Structure 1
Amino acid sequence: MVGLTAVLAVLFVLANLPFMSLRFLGVVALASPKSGRLMALEVVLCLALAMACLLFVERLVEGVSYGQGWEFQVVLLCLFVVAGFPGFVCRFFWKESV
Protein backbone atom coordinates (compact mmCIF):
# COMPACT_ATOMS: atom_id res chain seq x y z
CA MET A 1 0.00 0.00 0.00
CA VAL A 2 2.87 2.35 0.76
CA GLY A 3 4.36 1.69 -2.68
CA LEU A 4 1.09 2.60 -4.39
CA THR A 5 0.83 5.82 -2.39
CA ALA A 6 4.42 6.73 -3.25
CA VAL A 7 3.84 6.06 -6.96
CA LEU A 8 0.69 8.19 -6.97
CA ALA A 9 2.52 10.99 -5.14
CA VAL A 10 5.35 10.92 -7.71
CA LEU A 11 2.77 10.93 -10.51
CA PHE A 12 0.99 13.93 -8.96
CA VAL A 13 4.25 15.87 -8.57
CA LEU A 14 5.38 15.10 -12.12
CA ALA A 15 1.97 16.04 -13.53
CA ASN A 16 2.00 19.43 -11.80
CA LEU A 17 5.70 20.25 -12.23
CA PRO A 18 5.37 21.97 -15.65
CA PHE A 19 2.72 24.33 -14.31
CA MET A 20 4.13 25.10 -10.87
CA SER A 21 7.75 25.80 -11.75
CA LEU A 22 9.14 28.62 -13.86
CA ARG A 23 12.20 26.45 -14.59
CA PHE A 24 12.39 23.76 -17.27
CA LEU A 25 11.74 20.40 -15.56
CA GLY A 26 12.09 22.25 -12.26
CA VAL A 27 15.88 22.42 -12.67
CA VAL A 28 17.07 24.51 -15.64
CA ALA A 29 16.64 28.28 -15.29
CA LEU A 30 15.31 30.00 -18.41
CA ALA A 31 16.10 33.49 -19.68
CA SER A 32 12.49 34.15 -20.69
CA PRO A 33 9.15 32.80 -19.46
CA LYS A 34 8.16 29.35 -20.69
CA SER A 35 6.32 29.28 -23.99
CA GLY A 36 3.39 27.00 -24.68
CA ARG A 37 5.51 24.68 -26.82
CA LEU A 38 8.16 24.36 -24.16
CA MET A 39 5.51 23.64 -21.53
CA ALA A 40 3.93 20.98 -23.78
CA LEU A 41 7.36 19.39 -24.27
CA GLU A 42 7.85 19.42 -20.52
CA VAL A 43 4.48 17.71 -19.98
CA VAL A 44 5.42 14.97 -22.47
CA LEU A 45 8.82 14.48 -20.83
CA CYS A 46 7.23 14.28 -17.37
CA LEU A 47 4.71 11.75 -18.71
CA ALA A 48 7.55 9.62 -20.10
CA LEU A 49 9.38 9.89 -16.77
CA ALA A 50 6.22 8.85 -14.90
CA MET A 51 5.79 5.86 -17.21
CA ALA A 52 9.40 4.82 -16.65
CA CYS A 53 8.92 5.19 -12.89
CA LEU A 54 5.80 3.01 -12.95
CA LEU A 55 7.54 0.32 -15.00
CA PHE A 56 10.52 0.39 -12.63
CA VAL A 57 8.29 0.01 -9.57
CA GLU A 58 6.41 -2.84 -11.26
CA ARG A 59 9.67 -4.63 -12.01
CA LEU A 60 10.86 -3.99 -8.45
CA VAL A 61 7.68 -5.30 -6.81
CA GLU A 62 6.74 -8.13 -9.17
CA GLY A 63 10.23 -9.14 -10.18
CA VAL A 64 9.25 -9.03 -13.84
CA SER A 65 7.73 -6.38 -16.07
CA TYR A 66 4.65 -7.54 -17.92
CA GLY A 67 3.94 -6.49 -21.49
CA GLN A 68 2.13 -3.16 -21.47
CA GLY A 69 -0.39 -2.75 -24.26
CA TRP A 70 -2.14 0.38 -25.36
CA GLU A 71 -4.49 0.15 -22.37
CA PHE A 72 -1.63 0.87 -19.95
CA GLN A 73 -0.61 4.00 -21.85
CA VAL A 74 -4.20 5.29 -22.13
CA VAL A 75 -4.92 4.76 -18.42
CA LEU A 76 -1.63 6.42 -17.46
CA LEU A 77 -2.32 9.35 -19.79
CA CYS A 78 -5.80 9.85 -18.30
CA LEU A 79 -4.44 9.60 -14.76
CA PHE A 80 -1.69 12.07 -15.65
CA VAL A 81 -4.19 14.58 -17.09
CA VAL A 82 -6.44 14.34 -14.04
CA ALA A 83 -3.49 14.66 -11.64
CA GLY A 84 -2.14 17.69 -13.55
CA PHE A 85 -5.43 19.57 -13.58
CA PRO A 86 -4.86 21.46 -10.27
CA GLY A 87 -1.53 22.82 -11.52
CA PHE A 88 -3.09 23.84 -14.83
CA VAL A 89 -5.91 25.68 -13.06
CA CYS A 90 -3.51 27.46 -10.70
CA ARG A 91 -1.26 28.53 -13.58
CA PHE A 92 -3.84 29.71 -16.11
CA PHE A 93 -7.18 30.33 -14.40
CA TRP A 94 -6.46 31.38 -10.81
CA LYS A 95 -6.46 35.17 -10.53
CA GLU A 96 -5.06 36.91 -7.49
CA SER A 97 -7.60 39.16 -5.80
CA VAL A 98 -6.44 42.74 -5.50
Structure 2
Amino acid sequence: MQNFLLIVGLAALAANLPFFSEKLFFFWKIKAEAKSFGWRLLELGVFYVLLAGVAYLLESRISSVHSQNWQFYVSTFSLFVVFAWPGFVWRYFWRKPGI
Protein backbone atom coordinates (compact mmCIF):
# COMPACT_ATOMS: atom_id res chain seq x y z
CA MET A 1 0.00 0.00 0.00
CA GLN A 2 2.85 2.38 0.79
CA ASN A 3 4.45 1.78 -2.61
CA PHE A 4 1.12 2.46 -4.31
CA LEU A 5 0.71 5.78 -2.51
CA LEU A 6 4.32 6.67 -3.30
CA ILE A 7 3.85 6.00 -7.01
CA VAL A 8 0.54 7.89 -7.18
CA GLY A 9 2.05 10.87 -5.34
CA LEU A 10 5.12 10.89 -7.57
CA ALA A 11 2.90 10.61 -10.66
CA ALA A 12 0.82 13.61 -9.60
CA LEU A 13 3.96 15.64 -8.95
CA ALA A 14 5.83 14.56 -12.09
CA ALA A 15 2.82 15.13 -14.35
CA ASN A 16 2.57 18.77 -13.26
CA LEU A 17 6.29 19.63 -13.34
CA PRO A 18 6.47 20.55 -17.06
CA PHE A 19 3.94 23.33 -16.56
CA PHE A 20 5.73 25.14 -13.73
CA SER A 21 9.05 26.11 -15.35
CA GLU A 22 10.23 27.79 -18.53
CA LYS A 23 13.46 25.78 -18.43
CA LEU A 24 13.70 22.37 -20.05
CA PHE A 25 13.69 19.76 -17.25
CA PHE A 26 14.29 22.65 -14.79
CA PHE A 27 17.95 22.89 -15.89
CA TRP A 28 18.38 23.99 -19.52
CA LYS A 29 17.26 27.36 -20.71
CA ILE A 30 15.77 27.29 -24.20
CA LYS A 31 16.60 29.95 -26.78
CA ALA A 32 12.94 30.83 -27.33
CA GLU A 33 11.19 33.35 -25.08
CA ALA A 34 8.70 30.84 -23.77
CA LYS A 35 8.78 27.07 -23.76
CA SER A 36 6.36 25.75 -26.37
CA PHE A 37 3.68 23.16 -25.74
CA GLY A 38 5.72 20.59 -27.69
CA TRP A 39 8.58 20.85 -25.20
CA ARG A 40 6.10 20.39 -22.37
CA LEU A 41 4.73 17.24 -24.03
CA LEU A 42 8.27 15.90 -24.43
CA GLU A 43 8.93 16.51 -20.74
CA LEU A 44 5.65 14.81 -19.86
CA GLY A 45 6.66 11.73 -21.83
CA VAL A 46 10.13 11.59 -20.30
CA PHE A 47 8.73 11.96 -16.79
CA TYR A 48 6.27 9.14 -17.53
CA VAL A 49 9.09 6.84 -18.63
CA LEU A 50 11.15 7.72 -15.55
CA LEU A 51 8.19 7.08 -13.27
CA ALA A 52 7.50 3.76 -15.01
CA GLY A 53 11.12 2.81 -14.29
CA VAL A 54 10.69 3.66 -10.61
CA ALA A 55 7.47 1.63 -10.46
CA TYR A 56 9.21 -1.30 -12.17
CA LEU A 57 12.06 -1.12 -9.66
CA LEU A 58 9.68 -1.05 -6.70
CA GLU A 59 7.65 -3.96 -8.07
CA SER A 60 10.78 -6.02 -8.70
CA ARG A 61 11.85 -5.56 -5.07
CA ILE A 62 8.53 -6.93 -3.80
CA SER A 63 7.87 -9.84 -6.17
CA SER A 64 8.37 -10.98 -9.73
CA VAL A 65 7.40 -8.36 -12.28
CA HIS A 66 4.24 -9.03 -14.26
CA SER A 67 4.57 -8.69 -18.01
CA GLN A 68 2.33 -6.02 -19.55
CA ASN A 69 0.91 -5.41 -23.01
CA TRP A 70 0.53 -2.11 -24.80
CA GLN A 71 -2.95 -1.56 -23.32
CA PHE A 72 -1.45 -1.20 -19.84
CA TYR A 73 0.97 1.51 -20.97
CA VAL A 74 -1.71 3.42 -22.88
CA SER A 75 -4.00 3.34 -19.85
CA THR A 76 -1.32 4.45 -17.41
CA PHE A 77 -0.15 7.24 -19.73
CA SER A 78 -3.75 8.43 -20.03
CA LEU A 79 -4.01 8.52 -16.25
CA PHE A 80 -0.70 10.41 -16.15
CA VAL A 81 -2.14 13.01 -18.54
CA VAL A 82 -5.22 13.34 -16.32
CA PHE A 83 -2.88 14.00 -13.37
CA ALA A 84 -1.33 16.83 -15.44
CA TRP A 85 -4.65 18.68 -15.75
CA PRO A 86 -4.09 21.07 -12.76
CA GLY A 87 -0.72 22.22 -14.12
CA PHE A 88 -2.15 22.67 -17.61
CA VAL A 89 -5.05 24.75 -16.28
CA TRP A 90 -2.68 26.85 -14.18
CA ARG A 91 -0.33 27.50 -17.09
CA TYR A 92 -2.80 28.20 -19.88
CA PHE A 93 -6.07 29.33 -18.24
CA TRP A 94 -5.41 30.99 -14.87
CA ARG A 95 -2.16 32.85 -15.45
CA LYS A 96 -2.15 36.17 -17.20
CA PRO A 97 0.22 36.38 -20.19
CA GLY A 98 3.68 37.62 -19.25
CA ILE A 99 3.53 36.52 -15.61
State the TM-score, normalizing by the size of structure 2. Answer: 0.83
1:36 is aligned with what amino acid? Answer: F
* Alpha-carbon shift at residue 29 of structure 1 (Å): 3.4
Q: How does 1:1-98 map to 2 (within 5 A)?
A: 1-32=1-32, 33-62=34-63, 64-95=64-95
For the residue of structure 1 that corresponds to 2:94, the secondary structure is coil
Deviation at 1:61? Answer: 1.9
**Aligned pairs, how many?**
95
Write the distance in 2 (CA, Å) between the matches of 1:20 and 1:3: 26
Q: Distance in 2 between matches of 1:76 and 1:60?
A: 21
Deviations 1:39-85 (A, max 9, x none): 221111111112212211111222x2211112220221121011110
CA RMSD in angstroms comes to: 1.6
Q: For the residues of structure 1 that align with 2:61 and 2:26, how far apart are their CA atoms?
A: 27
Deviation of 1:37 after TM superposition, in Å, equals 2.0
TM-score of the two chains, using structure 1 as the length reference: 0.83
